[in-house]
Structure 1
Amino acid sequence: MKRSNFIGLAFTALVTLFTQVPASAAELELLHPGKLLVATEGTFPPFSMRAPNGALDGLEIRLMTEICKRLGLKYEPVLIKWDSLLIGLQADQYDMTSDSMDITPERQKKVTFADGWLESGGVILVPRGSAIKSVNDIKGKHVGALVSSTFAKIGEDNGAIVKGYKAESDALQDMANGNLDAVITDAIAAGYAIKQSKLPFEILPEYVSHVQKGFAIKKGKPELVKAINKTLAEIVADGTYAKLTTDLVGFNPAPKNPIRSVE
């Protein structure tokens, strides 16, 4: 082989090698080299929960695991209560959140969301046989919802007496104990809870909101946002997203037209 050809092949091999090396912390604006610290509750099935063996599982956990694998990063979940998620993000306690957070104009002013990763909506759960048949019937009723959530605001806007909870499971348990007339929550979470726990509840057919969920990132980290968006799009396009989510919720909840990031 000619020396020039050998040098050319060697150069090509080096280029290939370096393009496969994971991006550095500086390139992705990470807090720690080689690690992606991601906040989640760990108590909101089927988004984040504990598997029978005690390991974290759920829609967001599976997607984050795959994203980190493709980016060559170590995935480090950070368990945080819902009402502290954005506070911790702004304080640089983690790189981003994966929790089931609705993308809203108000939140977009505070953080940058990666492109919408899941489409769902708010629904009302009631005990079987309840007199509540629509959102118009919750006025004056005791309704549970995650504290500081869009669901709590929907309840308040419709005249309900809203009680905030730090964990979805606590609200459902309170309703099972007869302390609530209804719970407003995510449609996917509601369906999963009834199916898995055989709860004596029913979901009203009327959606009270239509939303997309987003991974929140502190403003000023455009490279991290780009990397997450690119990797997420690849996971959806090659069918991996459907494989990771369908067995949990029975269908592919990827948005057909994702809400795009706004810096």
Structure 2
Amino acid sequence: MKIKTLIVAAAAFAGLAITSIANAGDLELLQPGKLMVATEGTYAPFSMRAPDGKLDGLEIRVMREVAKRLNLEYTPVLIKWDSLLVGLQADQYDVISAAMDITEARQKQVTFSNGWLESGGRVVTGKDSKIASAADIKGKTVGALVASSWTKIAEDKGATVKGYKAESDAMQDLVNGNVDAVITDSIAAAYAIKSANMSLKMTDDYVSHVQKGFAFKMGKPNLVVAVNKALADINADGTYAKLTSDLVGFDPAPKDPIKTIK
């Protein structure tokens, strides 16, 4: 009886192993059991280094949880922004988690997951400022990144623009009272205000909207479906909000996510 039991157990174990390999194949992974994820590691609050040196950030936390839900080992691949799409097409990783906007042009190059984060441009002001909306920046001096869409938006709204090479410099100038407001990405601004405890606020309205998506090489429908399912579950059970809110002060999940184009 003991021998028979051992044989049955061995067969069951072998079956599980075969099933695991089959499932890995079903997900179109480059390496069975691993989710290889491209990220920059230098773009706070999306991808950055924690004080202990480990990778942290919005995309890191969410994608690590996605891998966990899929019973896969989260395996980050650090790569520069301008090489992300090239590496994806060359099968260097399974997915790009770096904060990539879902645009029509990019949708022709890659398959995006459902939108996992919503952002956009917002006006940042001092806490005591009388600027209550984007319309109020007319005639004001507004800081914005040089050659960015924020610069054009500010000019279109009648503001005098002071250009900066780094958005952090614009935010510091605002704190110092050298500009009346700054237009920048709402997520980046929220993180900067919260992490540095700046005496700043954002107006309620947005000057633009954008959603971020995880990017896959075309031809991996099973992996995309699995990631979308994990994302939906993470949002539904409150895990997403817990993972992200402490970094930016609110839940940045899209209320109406852009759906994957099939």
Q: TM-score, normalised by structure 1?
A: 0.73
Q: Offset at 1:10?
A: 9.2
Alignment coverage as a number of residue pairs:
255
Contact 1:39 1:80 in 2 (8 A): no
Structure 1 unaligned segments of length 5 or more: list them: 2-6
CA distance in 1, matches of 2:235, 2:21: 23
CA gap of 1:30–1:162, structure 2 versus 1, over 3 A, is: farther
Give the structure 2 partner of residue 171 of structure 1: 167
Q: Secondary structure at the match of 2:120?
A: strand
Structure 1 distance, partners of 2:133, 2:179, is 16
Shift of 1:193: 0.7
Q: Distance in 2 between matches of 1:147 and 1:32?
A: 41
**Residues 140 and 246 (structure 1 numbering): CA distance in 2 closer, same or farther, change over 3 Å?**
closer
1:147-177: CA deviations, max 9, x gaps? 88x6577568768879686xxxx32135525
Instruction: Quote the residue 2:217 is aligned against.
Output: 218
Give me the CA root mean square deviation.
4.0
Distance in 2, Cα, partners of 1:11 & 1:211? 51
Distance 1:112 1:29 in 2: 14
Mapped to 2, the partners of 1:142 and 1:84 lie a distance apart of: 33
CA contact (8 A) 2:120 2:185 kept: yes
Partner AA of 2:188 in structure 1: A
Once structures 1 and 2 are overlaid, which stretch shifts more, 11-20 or 83-92?
11-20
For residue 176 of structure 1, what is the amino acid of its counterpart? Q
| Residues 1:237 and 1:129: Cα distance change in structure 2 (over 3 Å) | closer
Alignment of 1:10-159 (within 5 A): 19=19, 23-24=23-24, 26-69=25-68, 70-81=70-81, 83-125=82-124, 135=134, 137=137, 143-145=143-145, 154=153
Separation in structure 2 between the aligned mates of residue 180 and residue 41 of structure 1, nearest angstrom: 31
Q: Which amino acid aligns with 1:171?
A: E
| Equivalent residue number for residue 236 of structure 2 | 237
> What is the CA–CA distance in structure 1 between the aligned matches of 2:49 and 2:125, rounded to whole Å?
25
Report sequence identity in percent.
53
SS in 2 for 1:254: coil
TM-score by length of 2: 0.73
Map of 1:186-197 to 2, 5 A cutoff? Answer: 186-197=185-196
User: Structure 1 residue 16: deviation in Å?
Assistant: 6.1
* CA deviation string 1:110-163 (max 9, x = no partner): 221101112333213356788987656479977544988x65775687688796
**Change beyond 3 A, Cα 1:215–1:155:** farther
How far has the Cα of 1:77 moved from its partner? 3.6
Letter paired with 2:75:
Y
Contact residue 170 and residue 182 of structure 2 kept, 8 A: no
Gaps of 5+ in 2: 2-6
Give the match's secondary structure for 1:100: coil
Cα distance change on mapping 1:154 and 1:93 into 2, 3 Å: farther
SS at match of 2:23: coil
CA distance in 2, matches of 1:109, 1:153: 26
